[in-house]
A and B are shown apart, each in its own frame.
Chain A
Amino acid sequence: GAVVSQHPSWVICKSGTSVKIECRSLDFQATTMFWYRQFPKQSLMLMATSNEGSKATYEQGVEKDKFLINHASLTLSTLTVTSAHPEDSSFYICSASKRDISYEQYFGPGTRLTVT
């Protein structure tokens, strides 16, 4: 068990448009979900922590209005990149923590975003 999916796996969008990425825990309830971005040959950078039913907590330097996070249920969190620009092109990865086992994180396969 503990499978996390992301959709889409890759997306190409035009500059100025918005794109939504979904993160789902398929076989468990996720108390908390995390969003990371990763540039080529670099590490994962934590963007925000998302708790079901409450506002996301963003890391320093991450624009809240740029990266909208919604965690509407215990199995779904979404990240919307608004008014995307080429510099937003990156690999976005989510992870989820099981209810009551907060330190175990299960990662999704990632979403490759390319903004043209």
Chain B
Amino acid sequence: GESVGLHLPTLSVQEGDNSIINCAYSNSASDYFIWYKQESGKGPQFIIDIRSNMDKRQGQRVTVLLNKTVKHLSLQIAATQPGDSAVYFCAENTRNTGNQFYFGTGTSLTVIP
């Protein structure tokens, strides 16, 4: 499989603050990335995706930034809420090798009320 890693295994933030979760990937051919949220005992839930021809993509309260030069992407969550507490994974895909996705280590986000 591919090597996709995260810098921080845990992150605690105060409710209302912004959260930033980082992800490093090693395959320079990776061209599609997805951030997933996983709550305890459940399957991953799609948050936002970004293709390699973009540097930034915004969704509702979330922004993904992609820096292809250093093979790094981040997920920013604005005004973090207790319901955002979960484990967040980045996953990467290389289109010319198929539609398999490889997941990073994961960051556990805890929102403090």
Residues of A that sit less than 8 Å from B by CB: 4, 32, 34, 36, 41-46, 49, 59-60, 91, 93, 95, 97, 102-110, 112
Contacts and interface: CB of A to CB of B under 8 A. Distances in A.
B42 A109 contact: yes
A92 to B, nearest CB: 10
B25 interface: no
Most buried by B among A32, A44, A46, A95: A44
B101 A105 contact: yes
A43 B104 contact: yes
B103 A107 contact: no
Interface string B1-41: 10000000000000000000000000000001010100001
A103 B99 contact: yes
B43 interface: yes
Contact of A97 (B36, B43, B45, B99): B99
Nearest to B105: A43
Given A49-B98, A93-B43, A97-B99, 10 more contacts: A32-B99, A42-B106, A43-B103, A43-B104, A43-B105, A46-B1, A93-B44, A103-B32, A103-B49, A103-B99
B43 A43 contact: no
A43 B44 CA distance: 11
Most buried by B among A4, A32, A46: A46
Contacts of A41: 108
Contacts of A45: 1, 103
A21 B32 CA distance: 29
Given A46-B101, A102-B99, A110 B42 contact: yes
Nearest to A106: B46
A22 to B, nearest CB: 14
B95 to A, nearest CB: 8
Nearest to B42: A109
Contacts of B43: 4, 93, 95, 107-110
B93 interface: yes
B45 A107 contact: yes
B86 to A, nearest CB: 13
CB-CB nearest 8 A-B residue pairs: A107-B43, A102-B99, A44-B103, A43-B103, A107-B44, A109-B43, A43-B106, A110-B43
